Amino acid sequence: MPPLTDHYPLPVLKDSPGAGASGAGGDDERPRAWRSLEEWHGSPELARAAEREFPPGAAEPPRGLDRRRFLQLAGTTAALAGLAACKQPAEKVMPYTYQPPDVTPGVPNAYATAWTPEGYAMGLVVTSWEGRPTKVEGNPDHPASLGATNHLAQALAVDLYDTTRVRGVKLRGTLRAFKTYLEEQVTHARRLEANGGEGLWFLLEPSSSPTRRELLERIRQRFPRARVETYAAVSRDNVYEGARLAFGRPLETRVRYDEARVVLSLDADFLTRGPFAVREAREFIRSRVPERERMSRLYVAESHFSVTGMNADHRLRMRPSEVERFARAVLGELARTHGLAGLERYRELELGWPERAREVRAVAADLARNGARSVVVAGERQPPRVHAVAHVLNAALGSQGKLTTHHEPGVDGVRSGPEVLRELAEAASAGRVDTLVVTAFDPLSTAPVGVTLEAALSKVPNSVYLAFREDGTAKKSAWVLPAAHVLETWGDARALDGTVSILQPLIQPLFQGLTELDVLSPFAGVADQTPYQLVKNFWARQRGGAGLAFEDTWEQWLAVGTLPGSETPPFAATVDMGAVEASIRGFTHKPSQGLELNLVPGYKVHDGRYFHNAWLQELPDPLTMLAWGNAALMSPRTAERLKLEARDKVKLTLRGRWVEAPVYVLPGHADDTVTLELGWGREWLDDGDEPVTLGVNAYLLRHVDAPWFAEGLQVEKAEGRGRYATSQDHWSMHGREIAIQDGLETFEKKKSDYLKHLKGPVEKLYEPFKYGEPYQWAMAVDLNRCIGCGACTVACQAENNIPVVGREQVERGREMHWLRVDRYFEGSPDEPHAIPQPMMCQHCEAAPCEYVCPVNATVHSDEGLNEMVYNRCIGTRYCSNNCPYKVRRFNYLDYRPKVSELEKLRANPDVTVRSRGVMEKCTYCVQRIERARIEARRERKPIDTEALQSACAQVCPTEAIVFGSLHAQESEVARRHRDARHYAVLHELGTRPRTAYLARIKNPNPELEHG
């Protein structure tokens, strides 16, 4: 590979990203961080944008208005709003006939329930206001969440109050009563019973529900010739088949990352993907504490830049098809050089791969040195052979049974990939399917190329589809049933370790929604029982029968959210070395020819089921910072070779099928590979109520035999320019020391005076802040813990009623997020290190925004909060101009008219809904502080500052963000403010921010770091 400077000359200016300067008093050895290739190259256009201080379009009034007229309108709007507040609202208020004893108006209640992504349970605690759920948190008593959640769970309330949901039972587009549907299906089931259920098919969502499993057993007994299958576009088939190859049976693998010293990830994004991802992210970060006796090390072999790759010490970028070859090479190196017991038969594997020889030797040696404290994990996209190799390596290293344990799969069916759809399509086309019951997500739209499911479905006489929205499958099904949201559902589910959770509804189904148990019960012969009765009766039988004792137990389960003692013991598994060897030797790696297509699950939309969630659409992707769409990702070298630039439109052709997509040049992406996210390319109703297709439908290039990656991709430049919204260049920091990352060796050498130029007192003109009040609120963000997942951004949006502005406004730099997660790169565009950094209002003790506000709308509290008085704000935006952190947001438009009456139900009543012409920003969740203060006064005791959390701190899976009072000397926030790694962003300005950052520390392998 030629040197980087042959393609991208390093900037020569001292203050440029690649020059290595660190600013006044900085560490000259630390490379400068940069955010985009344009910034790396010193783009003149980007330089002009930086001179304007705000992104292009962010500081201008709406089109058609000059600044003077806009301010007049904004002021008039504020005045009219004040007058309107004096009138009684025109609305009907219906009192409770009998007020529930546990509901007090104005006081929120919290209920435990669970969510089932990929079929497994994640425990939740949901805040409800008078029966109106608004905020989702993790259940601290649940093993899969530990009190935290992810970005998808935080946005669940958006789907609950979505006006595009299916409403009512329909037969070929005509509304029918559910009673009519039920009677017809009961009659139909009796007719099918005569021939043992011949022609009856069930295509279900993967689920770990014990109650559903019992219903399916009843169905199998009643209809022994029926087919019961599960399907998911993002399936775990490779995980189970890899375990079957290694152990003789499908198993789930649980990894103890907190005990690991070396982790090798083979295309496994374990920090954000998988049924235990939230817990495993926290456990992994616990092994990354620099002050720990031995900080762990992470190697990631992957093609596209994932969240796990962003947190790797060494990211080994390669084509997706090369990951298997790399796994085999490491296995062969451990067998030849390190003589691990049981690996003798693999000595001859991958001897001729000189391009990766140095990396293979270093990784193998590190794994061997740490033995049983090393672990190898494989991603769900990799073929079963790679999973089997990972199991072989863990067994040889000694980590199996220590760092890894194996469990029986909790989900019904361990085969749910595209092959299931192919068999269904063949049977339906041949007329062998009489009745098809579908609860899986939109199989017609997610079917791979070559599976003619649409034509086959039209030949099924009786098709039933449980749909959340009118998607492609709903349009072709006879019966369409409205699906209940998870917060409207009674049910049960297991976590990966077997722990059972009871799903209880927070609200009555808004659109007569039905659960999967409702759909299956007529075929199981229990149509007269509700899901609540089915679940409760099932567990009554499991735990000794009904009665007063069980009623008390049941109430305790609902309160806690889990069933104590329900976890399942690990399964004792032994690797079949002979079977794995036969599989490996039966496969010969052939170097890929041309370009490879790399398909990945949508980070925000998954397989497409979250496509209509506006909060997730507007959340910037952790690496690309894309919102409201996807793009064709490729490396800088590949783009240069193909003579392509960012936003060029390209035609991607694979096996005669093609799509058009805009180009996004992503630093660190594997060469000769083009990545597309699944789940996009669906229609969205835009501002003008015209259907707009967002993103590119990657399913059009997906094949049964190559569901994740395939060679032979052809790329041609198409006419026109592509469109996508990205915030990667918004709020530029002019190359100053903002997000800091160092190596472990550097940190240990300079620990005593580490970053001393970014901490301590500075000269200032104003009197120092006085710490007289009993509470001094502060925050600390540990960049070493932050994985960049973005969950905090969505949590802040949910807590503080932050509006969605849409694709056009994001393109203009007007996103309203109070908390953003910036992404920086260090190093060359080919081999960069990524650094995520949450950035919110710093609550400066000497806040520049406060000195320039002409109406005293932004003021400082005695407890250290920089507060916003919305009623005073007249929209001058002087405070935003004077804020060096660029964390203030201005409401250019009034977004309230676009919010339906139903969607208003998800708003947090503790937080004001702002209108046009108002400046807003992070408040450290002051509403939570005041509610805690009220509760403390009621109980006549001090505020429990340890229990008080901001929304971003509460959601964080890795505890990167902590909040509390600095007066509590033993609190975590006070400890981090004293940590050797702490520093203040833009410390030289003397703003004295209350938010401290802790530098990010890497633990690179010296053999790879220094050659």
Q: What is the per-residue pLDDT across 388-442, written as a single tens digit (0 to 9) for each?
A: 999 999 999 999 999 999 999 999 888 999 999 999 999 999 999 999 999 999 9
pLDDT number for residue 340: 87
Separation between Cα atoms, residue 256 and residue 278, nearest integer Å: 13
User: Closest Cα to residue 483, out of 153, 119, 162?
Assistant: 162
Same domain, 449 and 335: no
Q: Is 223 a domain residue? A: yes
* CB neighbourhood size of 60 (10 A): 17
Sequential DSSP letters for 179-209: HHHHHHHHHHHHHHHTTTTTTEEEEE-----
Measured CA distances, 238 to 302, 495, 528 (Å): 17, 20, 39
**Does 89 score more than 50 pLDDT?**
no
pLDDT number for residue 549: 84
Query: Mean pLDDT across the chain, nearest whole number?
Result: 88
Q: Is 976 a domain residue? A: yes
Same domain, 291 and 427: no
- What CATH number is given to the structural domain containing 340? 3.40.228.10
**Does 787 score more than 60 pLDDT?**
yes
Same domain, 381 and 480: no
Name the 3-class secondary structure at 334: helix
- What CATH number is given to the structural domain containing 31? 3.30.70.20
Q: What is the per-residue pLDDT across 840-889, written as a single tens digit (0 to 9) for each?
A: 999 999 999 999 999 999 999 999 999 999 999 999 999 999 999 999 99
> Per this entry, what is the length of the chain?
1011
User: Closest Cα to residue 235, out of 495, 421, 513?
Assistant: 421
Same domain, 675 and 754: no
DSSP state of 483: B
Mean local confidence (pLDDT), 24-28 = 44
pLDDT number for residue 348: 81
DSSP state of 498: -
Q: Report how far Cα 594 is from the mean position of its chain's Cα atoms.
A: 32
Residue 584 phi/psi, 5-degree rounding, is -65, -45
What percentage of the chain reaches a pLDDT higher than 90? Answer: 73
Q: Is 783 a domain residue? A: yes
Find where tokens 């939230």 sit. 278
Residue 600 near residue 675 (C-beta atoms within 8 A): yes
pLDDT number for residue 686: 55
Last residue of a domain, one of 552, 583, 602: 552
- What CATH number is given to the structural domain containing 716? 2.40.40.20
**Does 22 score more than 90 pLDDT?**
no
The parent domain of residue 616 ranges over 592-726
Maximum distance among all Cα pairs of the chain, rounded to whole angstroms: 90
**Into how many domains does the chain fold?**
4
Same domain, 689 and 836: no
Q: Is 949 a domain residue? A: yes
Same domain, 697 and 749: no
Q: What is the per-residue pLDDT across 466-495, written as a single tens digit (0 to 9) for each?
A: 999 999 999 999 999 999 999 999 999 999
The pair of three-digit structure tokens given for residue 222, joined into one six-digit string: 């009643």
Same domain, 428 and 507: yes
Q: Is 482 a domain residue? A: yes
Name the 3-class secondary structure at 637: helix
Amino acid at 203: L
- Bigger pLDDT: 137 or 18? 137
pTM: 0.91
Confidence category of residue 53, pLDDT binned at 50, 70, 90:
low
Same domain, 417 and 390: no
Q: 5-9, 206-210, 214-218, 306-310: lowest mean pLDDT where?
A: 5-9
How far is the first Cα of the chain from the last one, in angstroms, to the nearest whole number? 16
Confidence category of residue 73, pLDDT binned at 50, 70, 90:
very low
Q: Is 295 a domain residue? A: yes
Last residue of a domain, one of 378, 407, 436: 407
Same domain, 703 and 678: yes
Q: Is 802 a domain residue? A: yes
Q: What is the per-residue pLDDT across 644-669, written as a single tens digit (0 to 9) for each?
A: 999 999 999 999 999 999 999 999 99
Q: What is the per-residue pLDDT across 385-398, written as a single tens digit (0 to 9) for each?
A: 999 999 999 999 99
pLDDT number for residue 950: 97
**Does 683 score more than 70 pLDDT?**
yes
**Does 909 score more than 50 pLDDT?**
yes
Same domain, 916 and 998: yes
Q: Is 159 a domain residue? A: no
Confidence category of residue 342, pLDDT binned at 50, 70, 90:
confident
Q: What is the per-residue pLDDT across 145-196, written as a single tens digit (0 to 9) for each?
A: 999 999 999 999 999 999 999 999 999 999 999 999 999 999 988 999 999 9
Confidence category of residue 763, pLDDT binned at 50, 70, 90:
confident
Confidence category of residue 100, pLDDT binned at 50, 70, 90:
low
Residue 915 near residue 896 (C-beta atoms within 8 A): yes
Last residue of a domain, one of 407, 442, 472: 407
Residue 264 near residue 365 (C-beta atoms within 8 A): no
pLDDT number for residue 95: 46
Measured CA distances, 371 to 128, 154, 280, 389, 399 (Å): 49, 39, 21, 16, 7
pLDDT number for residue 524: 94
Same domain, 423 and 386: no
Mean local confidence (pLDDT), 124-142 = 94
Residue 408 near residue 396 (C-beta atoms within 8 A): no
Amino acid at 295: M
Separation between Cα atoms, residue 403 and residue 394, nearest integer Å: 9
Q: What is the per-residue pLDDT across 584-617, written as a single tens digit (0 to 9) for each?
A: 887 777 777 789 999 999 999 999 999 999 999 9
Same domain, 717 and 796: no
- What CATH number is given to the structural domain containing 215? 3.40.50.740
pLDDT number for residue 18: 35
